[in-house]
Structure 1
Amino acid sequence: MKNAVAIVTGASQGIGRATAIRLALDFSGVVLVARNGAKLEETANEVKARGSEPMVLELDMSKTAAPDTVVTRSLGRFGRIDALLNIAGAVPQIDILEMTDQQWNDGMELKLHGARRLTVRAWGALKESRGAVVLMSGNSAVFPKSGYGAVGTINAAIVALAKAFSDRGLTDGIQVNSVLPGPVMTGRRESYLAHWAPAHNVSVEDARQRFLSEAGIERYGRPEEIADLMAFLVSPGARWMTGSAIRMDGGEVKSI
């Protein structure tokens, strides 16, 4: 895979950043896409330090023109695309009765349609390389709650979208899977806990333990753990795995 190129959206922070850094060990080029250019440069430095060549694209994947820019610039720089990891997407955790149409639409445009458009646009290059695609969902896809109504709905749609892409991929030689992480301690989650705790008159540590207890798990996941799974899914060892929705949630989902 040392002559291969991967595209990672949402690469400025959290799971996206960890995934880009992990893929730098396997891919000769890693295209980093996100809205925060300063944070992308930090990720790029980590990628370069691991021996891979980074390319930074400061783009908003909710915009319809962004996918064409990503693919055109990637092919112009590296000449090929071997893996696409659609990780960008933040959906607000608001009660389903309080979500506005704009909040619903914003979440869908970035996480669902952004991934859909980019996958479609990159499909031709991925067909040439017989590449792999991963779409980031979340375990709320299989047990949506009122406070995660939009998140669960969009994540479930992503699982279905990945399955449909994987069916087409059987014809075109492209492997497609989705990943459903549980609670992972990212910067976004740390910020949420920091705001939630004082509003409920508890310490951040007490808030952390409360959410772990409610989830029925021992600890939060680490971005690097999800990144290792992503790296496996786009590796030669996973070529017979396609159309799968893989949960990695510390046992939060109790159903089969």
Structure 2
Amino acid sequence: MMRLKGHVAVVTGAGRGIGRAICLALADEGADIVAAARTEAEISQTAEMVKQKGSRALAVQTDVHSEMDVENLMTRTAERFGKIDILVNCAGTAVRKPFVETTTQEYDTIMDTNVKGVYLCTKHALRYMVPRNSGRIVNISSGAGKHGIPSLAVYSASKAAVIGLTQALAYELDEIRVYALCPGGVDTGMYRSMFDDEPPLKPEDVAYQVMEMCLPESVIPTGSAIEMYR
């Protein structure tokens, strides 16, 4: 049973790791996928993997820092598929170092990707969701957004901002449900570049939870910021 058949999902950070796993999990339920990220070769590969599952796919090279890129992403999605049902804001970055050593450039990069990117993608996706009074938005936050982590102060602050944005939008919007997912350590290249331990979660674990949030029959209250650690 394909519970998302006929739904169109835009996923940022879709070239690898959690984002790619989310694309594949949604495609397993029949959703058509628009894979967005900066690296064209990676999202093209994700799109091919989606097509192998029988869903339609579109790869759109996108820098979520750029409003022009984001507007192009949503426009091309609407032109190809006619609507946007699901937005998953998964693009993210981090720098692990003591707060006093974190440069202003690093701060800007983290905030531009993790917060501004969510703002821009959500703003432009809502232009297609609001007229239909329908849609799901899942923001990939982090356990660090609820419990600050030493040497990840700016990253923690960015993910806390995503939770706040999620909760505010849940009050502001009517039938459009907005969620934040706050996983602990996930086995991704970004995690392995910063830590030596074995993370408790796989990208597929996060993807499964995102898929559950996107199902039409989901009863998860809008505005929820759900932590997951295993």
Shared fold (TM-score greater than 0.5)? yes
Question: In the alignment, which residue of structure 2 is the partner of 1:140?
Answer: 144
Query: Identity of counterpart residues, as a percentage?
Result: 30
Counterpart of 2:202 (choices 222, 232, 244) is: 222
Q: CA deviation at 1:145?
A: 2.5
2:93 and 2:190 in contact (8 A); partners too: no
Question: In the alignment, which residue of structure 2 is the partner of 1:232?
Answer: 212
- 1:184/1:26 CA distance change after superposition, 3 Å: same
Q: TM-score, normalised by structure 2?
A: 0.93
Q: TM-score, normalised by structure 1?
A: 0.84
Which 10-residue stretch deviates more, 11-20 or 40-49? 40-49
Question: In the alignment, which residue of structure 1 is the partner of 2:228?
Answer: 248
Q: C-alpha root-mean-square deviation of aligned residues, in Å?
A: 1.5
Question: In the alignment, which residue of structure 1 is the partner of 2:116?
Answer: 113
Tell me, which stretches of 5 or more residues in structure 2 are unaligned? Answer: none
For residues 231 and 174 of structure 1, what CA distance do their matches in structure 2 show?
16
Question: In the alignment, which residue of structure 2 is the partner of 1:197?
Answer: none
Counterpart of 2:21 (choices 15, 18, 38) is: 18
Provide, for residues 197-242 of structure 1, a one-character-per-residue CA deviation record: whole Å limited to 9, x for no partner.
xxxxxxxxxx42xxx5xxxxxx520100100000111111225521
Counterpart of 1:77 (choices 73, 76, 80) is: 80
Question: In the alignment, which residue of structure 2 is the partner of 1:190?
Answer: 192
2:96 and 2:194 in contact (8 A); partners too: no
Query: Given residue 174 of structure 1, which amino acid in structure 2 is its aligned partner?
Result: I
- 1:249/1:82 CA distance change after superposition, 3 Å: same
Provide, for residues 111-134 of structure 1, a one-character-per-residue CA deviation record: whole Å limited to 9, x for no partner.
111111111111131221611001
Counterpart of 1:178 (choices 177, 180, 184) is: 180
Tell me, which stretches of 5 or more residues in structure 1 are unaligned? Answer: 194-206, 213-218, 251-256
Give the secondary structure class of the aligned counterpart of 1:97. helix
Question: In the alignment, which residue of structure 1 is the partner of 2:164?
Answer: 160
2:185 and 2:201 in contact (8 A); partners too: yes
Give the secondary structure class of the aligned counterpart of 1:146. coil
Query: Given residue 139 of structure 1, which amino acid in structure 2 is its aligned partner?
Result: G
Q: CA deviation at 1:89?
A: 1.1
Query: Given residue 179 of structure 2, which amino acid in structure 1 is its aligned partner?
Result: N
Which 10-residue stretch deviates more, 122-131 or 105-114? 122-131
1:4 and 1:82 in contact (8 A); partners too: yes
Q: CA deviation at 1:23?
A: 0.7
1:82 and 1:129 in contact (8 A); partners too: no
1:139 and 1:180 in contact (8 A); partners too: yes
Which 10-residue stretch deviates more, 62-71 or 149-158? 62-71
Query: Given residue 201 of structure 2, which amino acid in structure 1 is its aligned partner?
Result: G
Q: Number of residues paired by the alignment?
A: 226
